[in-house]
Amino acid sequence: MAIRDIITYPDPLLLKPSETVTEFGDSIQELIEDMAETMFEAPGSGLAAVQVGVNKRIIVVNTTEDMDDAEKSWYALINPEIIEKDGVFVSDNEGCLSVPELRATVRRSSRVVVKALDRMGEPMTIEVDNFHAVILQHEIDHLNGILFIDHLSVLKRNLYKKKVKKHLKDS
Backbone region of residue 37 per phi and psi (left: phi > 0; alpha: psi in -120 to 50; beta: other values): alpha
Binding site for Ni ion (CB under 5 A): 96
In the complex, least distance from residue 68 CB atom to Ni ion, rounded to whole angstroms: 23
What does the alpha-carbon distance between residue 78 and residue 115 come to, in Å, rounded to a whole number? 9
For residue 56, what is the DSSP state?
B
In the complex, least distance from residue 25 CB atom to Ni ion, rounded to whole angstroms: 26
Of 27, 24, 66, the closest CA to residue 45 belongs to 66
In the complex, least distance from residue 138 CB atom to Ni ion, rounded to whole angstroms: 5
Considering beta carbons, is residue 96 or 104 the nearer one to Ni ion? 96
Considering beta carbons, is residue 6 or 78 the nearer one to Ni ion? 6
Considering beta carbons, is residue 111 or 145 the nearer one to Ni ion? 145
Catalytic choice (30, 71, 122, 139): 139
Strands (E), 64-143: 74-86, 89-96, 99-108, 111-117, 123-129
In the complex, least distance from residue 57 CB atom to Ni ion, rounded to whole angstroms: 15
What does the alpha-carbon distance between residue 36 and residue 96 come to, in Å, rounded to a whole number? 15
Considering beta carbons, is residue 59 or 78 the nearer one to Ni ion? 59
Is 139 catalytic? The answer is: yes
123 φ/ψ angles, rounded to the nearest 5 degrees: -65, 145
Residues labelled catalytic: 139
